[in-house]
Structure 1
Amino acid sequence: MAVYTFNGDDLKIMLRGAVDLLEQTKDEIDSLNVFPVPDGDTGTNMCQTLASSLKEALNVESHHIGLVAEASARGGLLGARGNSGVILSQVLQGFAHSLSSKEQASAADLAEALEKGAQMAYRAVLTPVEGTILTVVKKTAEGAANQRSNDLLRVMVAVMKSAFTALQKTPDLLPVLKQAGVVDAGGKGFVTILEGALQALKSASPMAKTTAPKTETLKTSQAQNLSDFERSLQSLNFIYCTELMIKGKHLAIDKIKSELLPYGDSLLVVGDSCTVKVHIHSNHPGLILECCLKHGQLSDLKINNMSEQYKDFISYDKNNKPFAVIAVGAGEGISSILKNLGADAVLAGGQTLNPSTGELLEMAAQAPSVKVIILPNNKNIILAAEQARGLSSKEITVIPSTSIPQGISALLSLNPEDTLENNVNRMKEALSSVSSAEVTRAVRDTTYKDIVIKKGQLIGLVDDDLITAGDDMSKVLNDILGKLVEGSGKLVTLYYGENVNAGEIETLLDAAREKYEGNEFELQQGGQPVYDLIISVE
């Protein structure tokens, strides 16, 4: 049977189908790394981003596709994780913007929305690279625009074919993909989203299409909402994080917001005239409930005591601190080092654990200053940090650090007595003063350049380039040091991971001190996951 229009309920069904299929295939997508390192998280990031989008969409009790799409875009924006998640959130933003005024959409509307999504995605990336998810999204939009049928199912099938063809061609556009024998992971994720959406739309009965999926049926592992942000550092002034949904008729978001404003901070009021989501930190959650009850029925109530999370900021005066520094890092040792060097707070994250835009935004909101510096310390977190900067009411500066050594080097240049501008300039300059290397284990057999790699072997990367592999840590470490340490006067710091024996590394370091005489070597407990060693040379 032909389908000529779809509405908000259909969009919810499609989003649900996409999330379900991403959940099933995210590990496969994660494995599509150019390098066989155990930090592939593209599928996981896209799945969590879209799950956040779906969560917000399900909270809209309306058939209006524009309202559902806008809610979906809000959820994706705050839940975006990693570069692929941020790009996906921008696709959703463009899609929602195009459909905002429509109660239901036609095939032509779908094509226009996909085109707007592609444009937004390209604008989100400073230097777009073809052969990535961007290309797949663009070709998908072109495929939709070229269709003359008004049957949405036929158009969706054709769109799927365009996306799949574009995905298969990504290795021809990016030689590094061809050499690794993989297609682009982000592109694969986007094709999976389209496939899941199409499957759900085709299998939905007329009854299913007119009944919105229930929020409670969403898998807990997929549901990403504002309670995720409670892992972040919170303010000392208000200790209860209160979240709830208000359901009613003719809800006035601005009025609700103005009434709640005196009761606390970190206030977020989003939704539409029928459903409003509230998030606030206060000392009197009872007053919050009474205020909200005046507007409608309450549901999905959550109240969390955050007092144990205030310790990091207890000594700071929010009104007097000229600027605050937030760093991203994983591992107890790494976190302690970052704090000791001047980071006011460390958000847990890094490889396989990319914090969302919302988590970065929440952390910045609770920082002890109206001016905030963010050190992402991972190339896959920079876009999310930039997105948080654009959404925050505070003045946020993102230092584009791509590794823990770069983040540490930037912090070493920090002078709390100097101006924000001078500190930012020094920190950015410090990024180029350090080289980084990592040792981890291969997750699959492959060949990179002339290096034959077996699953489980140690592999060494220098400044994001895989240069060596082997079964012996001594060989891999020597290959790395031979690449990075020339002459004398270098400071080499090794941060060992959570599964590494410090004594064994110290023995290897003693041999390195003899071989590279005239250089200084240090060993620090990093406690980081994924990487056995993180190496800094400056």
Structure 2
Amino acid sequence: MTVRAERDAIDGTALLRWGWTCLAGLEQRREEINALNVFPIADADTGTNMLATMRAAVQAAQARVDPQSTYEVAAAMARGATLGARGNSGIILTQVLRGIAEATRDGDLTADTLPDALERASSLVRRALSSPVEGTILTVLECAAASAASRSGTSLAEVALSAADGAAKALGDTPSQLGVLREAGVVDAGARGLVVLLDGLVSVIRGEAPARPDYLPGDIEVVSGREHPGHANSGPDSPEACFEVMYLLADTDETRVATLRDRLAALGDSVGVVGDGNGSWSAHVHCADAGAAVEAGIAAGTLAAIRIESFVVTASRVDDDCAADPRNTREGGHSDAADMPVDRAVLAVAEGEGAAVLFEAAGAVVLGGHEPITADALLTAIRRMPNREVLVLPNGALPAHELVAVGVAARDARRDVLMLPSGSMVQGLAALAVHDRGRIAVDDAFAMSEAAAATRWGSLRAAAHRALTMVGTCESGDGLGLVGNDVVLIERDVLSAGRTLLDRMLGLGGELVTLLMGAGTPEELAGELSAHIARGFPGVEVTVYSGGQQEDLVQIGVE
């Protein structure tokens, strides 16, 4: 018989271990949580969003220098989650981490401070949401806090287990509280993710997690048909909500944040504006006027990392994808076959820290840095890959003849190497989005190559000095618009060049625009370009990422 020693406190090291445990749990349960996702929008991404948000939290804490106090780890996780939050569930997860940080300012997470952490988190979440809805993660979080408080005076293990069990019980009650869940026969997806996090905490403290059932759609038996009054479904049938808008906010204060929250609530629903407690804020809204939501943020502070996604467009694209290949899911790069042991990997070249994180999060091995990539460096990276099949996304780092030479040199009896035609990082991201290791290598490479080729790309730069281009002479400080590697326009400033370039690129059509922001890009540029697209090209989905590349202020991809 194995006796496990229980912890009586969670210090910084153990809290970081909890973060990694949560990542493993969310990865394991991601498809289950995605399948439960019917509220507020049935877009099957809650598990993915919570995983991405927690990954950002763990990476932020991991990057700090050891040793760290519990508060330092928790604060770093809260900040990382706020900066990397995805979706409504990610926004709420940030406040769980902030609650832990606030409760551990003076010491470790203990039997006395864990109930306080959960109570703070639930209070923060309720304040952050414009219209809190019962039968969701909020309700389950409050039940977890109450259950933890009921075990006050006992051990940390008992308090944590009580919180997790209380959350699990409340999770089972969510279909009785929210009609859209009852109709679909599911529990709330975000709340299911919260139970994973609390079970992970129990695991770190006790050495093993509680056993939970699989919560599959259609398996839920609702004991009571009573729905909590006043809960309207703002799901896909709502004609007023067409875009999901998210952005980071800085240089603001509580008063301006409250005004922003009210303004976003007037524009749409599923509004959440949350902070990490140290000056970083993240905003989320579903609305019909994405440009107005961005402009409201500009009025409230300094914007960055703007994401605009049209779930109407996304849903239609998903339906088309699934009709073409029933193995595909919304994420494009994952399928039921994705768990098969296929010995294949993707190696992507990325310039800039943000771009490297994006490619890693999508499942690629990354070769990058601020120094130019050489043929020797790429060849060495391929040879270090342990995989039998390697798909390479060069992303414009090397000319074609060098890529051919590297490919020839890298292939041998035990390894096959396929160079994919990605001329930029935005094309590489498009290709990686359809990567499916459930296919055979040639089919996977073909699909990824098609996605890269279908992505028109351009970039914005600021002229460093007077020079002659294909379209005339530019002066220092002029805005240059490039399509591919060729300058196609010169304007008096980068913003004007960006607007004109977008008009030209979208004039040929497009459903999705990706903006990859460079290291030296003015913070307001992303908001201005996103608002310009929303005003001039309604229905086009916009996604903004921080890439960190040096030369291009913005890389633009149009699909």
Q: Check whether TM > 0.5.
A: no
Query: TM class, shorter-chain normalised?
Result: 0.3 to 0.5
Normalized against structure 2, the TM-score is what? 0.43
Normalized against structure 1, the TM-score is what? 0.44
